[in-house]
Amino acid sequence: MKFKFDDERVTKEDVKRALEEQYGGEEELPPANPGFNNSPFKFTKYSNAYMLVYIRESDKEKIICNVDEKDIAEHLRIRLKKEQEEKEQKRKEKAEAHLYTIIKVARNEDLLEQIGRDIYFDLVDHDKVHSFRIQKQISFNLFKEEVAKELGIPVQFQRFWLWAKRQNHTYRPNRPLTPQEEAQSVGQLREVSNKANNAELKLFLEVELGQDLQPVPPPERTKEDILLFFKLYDPSKEELRYVGRLFVKGSGKPVEILPKLNEMAGFSADEEIELYEEIKFEPTIMCERIDKKVTFRASQLEDGDIVCFQKSPQVGSSDQCRYPDVPSFLDYVHNRQVQSEPLQFRDQDFHVFMLHVELLHYCGYVVVTVHQPRMLHLLVLPSLSTCFFNKAKPTAHSFPSLKQTFKDIIDLVILMYAKGVAKVVRFRSLEKPKEDEFCLELSKLHDYDDVVERVAQHLGLDDPSKIRLTSHNCYSQQPKPQPIKYRGVEHLSDMLVHYNQTSDILYYEVLDIPLPELQGLKTLKVAFHHSTKDEVVIHTIRLPKQSTVGDVINDLKTKVELSHPNAELRLLEVFYHKIYKVPEEEKNLGPHDRLIHVYHFMKDTAQNQV
């Protein structure tokens, strides 16, 4: 006998509720469409966990007593004090938020650090640059002194540019601040430059370096000058990186700066290179070739534009590289199944990470991991990730030891999800819908045939048409009730979308016959009850969809043991887990009788029934 203690009430509980329903788990909800044999969703349920403690009256003073600071362990006192100080600081910052402006300053170093690692499009992720919390009434010139103290760049060598969001949704440096604007307060400048209701001011800090790599005063800028940013693409490594910026004349031509670009890239001075303008990346990639003999102004290049360049492809090189030019590589990066920002590390991703670690260990690598709250970083050098995701066998490579300083490690860390794990679709067997079995890197533009072919290739299956896929329900965290029909969707992106959410999970089955053939058949599960046996045997019958009930019975007769050759079988439909009695008049239908379905309706729609 089990009892439930709820404050002053004590009630009896059955064993199932006491032992099985108090620890969370899954709750099966009733079907949304009663009368249909649909599988109900299961949702995680939660239970409150609490306990009553009974105390003798004589022990009350010993147990329920005041707790002084001396009764708390020292390490807990330190921790509680620190948490209280942090809470108070956050409260103060929130109360004074209207008095401050957040200024985010992007520098050349940020572009070098992020492009090709954290981002590929545009120039910088402003959430990862240096930020300052400055009182609104402080003049911008005083802020420049703060920058000099913080970043070590003297005021006379600083030139700040405002960022602007363009109509094509890109975000680029637009123009430098004027002396009049720098004389204003930080708050005034933010209101002028940022019409949005947030309190951030985003700037690009231009610092020119001399021959000795020391800061020098920024050059005088005329209306003829255009500030361009340059990215270098290496098709053999499938690597895009930032190499610097240049001021060019609007009336000048790209051919005039080719020697400088070769120098920035480390090429020989006479190396032939191709130039492309990165125009936009949403909703589709726009990256167009730049005519080197046409002026920059005629090519419609302006301040903040991005030019990508690469070595001119050699004859036959396109066969050796998956993405031989900048547009094809950017298109690949944009359309692969990837979450470009760092992902929260989830429990179900852990085995994916372990697969990578095991492979690295097998190939003789040392894996260095750096943990942050609910985030995992994996140390993988570009050369490793390139050969790994090109499916080439990694060669021996030296990794820094665990004794290396934290800063040195951070300088080399490549976010695991940005380099691989987030670029995959996780596949699960429909028989084990909770367990990831393998992962594949796929493009969102892959069509149905591409996806099943990759799955079949991974499973070692000769016929991809025997693969049947099922999409993931993001709300129930279960497979959708209906599988994906053969070529029933156009692209992988259609398979992964569930209402307004996108999943990275697909379920698969390996069929015994090709899916197109199976879709032409109706599959029935028939439970055969033998009159002399207690055991019920389930038979799976496949017949063409135009078959009759008589065809089902004839096929069933070939699979079961009959009491005598002329035994009659009757097929009954299981309707909402019930089998209804057959009336005598229905059982004895005449040749001219017909059975019709009726609907009994009433004013109260809840009482309507078939």
Q: What is the pLDDT of residues 217-227, one digit of tens each?
A: 898 889 899 99
Q: Which residue type sits at 110?
A: D
Euclidean distance between CA atoms 495 and 491, whole angstroms: 7
Euclidean distance between CA atoms 68 and 71, whole angstroms: 5
Residue 571 has pLDDT above 70, yes or no: yes
Ramachandran sector of residue 580 (left: φ over 0; alpha: ψ -120 to 50; beta: rest): beta
Euclidean distance between CA atoms 375 and 358, whole angstroms: 20
Pairing type for strands 100-106 and 286-289 reads unpaired
Q: Which residue type sits at 458?
A: H
| Helix (H/G/I), strand (E/B), else coil: 97 | helix
Query: Higher-confidence residue: 365 or 108?
Result: 108
Rg (Cα) of the chain, in Å, rounded? Answer: 34
Euclidean distance between CA atoms 151 and 97, whole angstroms: 24
Residue 196 has what pLDDT? 56
Residue 198 has what pLDDT? 60
Lowest mean pLDDT: which of 49-58, 199-208, 548-557?
49-58
Residue 44 has what pLDDT? 56
Ramachandran sector of residue 460 (left: φ over 0; alpha: ψ -120 to 50; beta: rest): left
Q: What confidence tens digit (pLDDT) does each residue in 471-505 have?
A: 999 888 899 999 999 999 988 888 998 887 888 89
Q: Report, as an integer, the average pLDDT of 337-342.
A: 40
Residue 61 has pLDDT above 60, yes or no: yes
Euclidean distance between CA atoms 293 and 299, whole angstroms: 10
Euclidean distance between CA atoms 343 and 185, whole angstroms: 38
Euclidean distance between CA atoms 195 and 56, whole angstroms: 67
Q: What percent of the chain has pLDDT over 70?
A: 77
Euclidean distance between CA atoms 432 and 261, whole angstroms: 55
Euclidean distance between CA atoms 461 and 35, whole angstroms: 39
Alpha helices in 266-341 (DSSP H): 317-320, 326-335
Q: Running DSSP on this structure, what letter comes out for residue 261?
A: H
Residue 205 has pLDDT above 90, yes or no: yes
Residue 325 has what pLDDT? 92
Contact yes or no for 524/541 (Cβ under 8 A): yes
- pTM: predicted TM-score of the whole model, two decimal places: 0.55
Q: What confidence tens digit (pLDDT) does each residue in 383-393 have?
A: 333 333 333 33
Q: What confidence tens digit (pLDDT) does each residue in 140-169 have?
A: 999 999 999 999 999 999 999 999 889 888
Q: Beta partners for 423?
A: none
State residue 202 phi and psi, 5-degree precision: -105, 130
State residue 452 phi and psi, 5-degree precision: -65, -30
Q: Of 358, 138, 326, 131, which is closest to residue 234 (Cα–Cα)? A: 326
Residue 161 has what pLDDT? 94
Contact yes or no for 487/448 (Cβ under 8 A): yes
Q: Running DSSP on this structure, what letter comes out for residue 114?
A: H
Residue 347 has pLDDT above 60, yes or no: no
Euclidean distance between CA atoms 362 and 293, whole angstroms: 52
Report DSSP letters for 382-438, one per residue.
HHHHHHHHTTPPPPP-----TTS-HHHHHHH-B-HHHHTGGGEEEEEETTSTTS--E
The residues, any chain, with a CB within 8 Å of residue 327's CB and separated by 6 or more, are 276, 285, 287, 288
* Confidence at 427, pLDDT banded by 50, 70, 90: very high
Q: Of 218, 241, 221, 245, which is closest to residue 231 (Cα–Cα)? A: 241
400 burial level (CB within 10 Å; 0-12, 13-18, 19+): middle
Q: Report, as an integer, the average pLDDT of 109-119.
A: 92
* Confidence at 31, pLDDT banded by 50, 70, 90: very low
Residue 608: both structure tokens together: 């309507």
Mean pLDDT of the chain: 79
Q: Which residue type sits at 378?
A: L
Residue 85: both structure tokens together: 């100080």
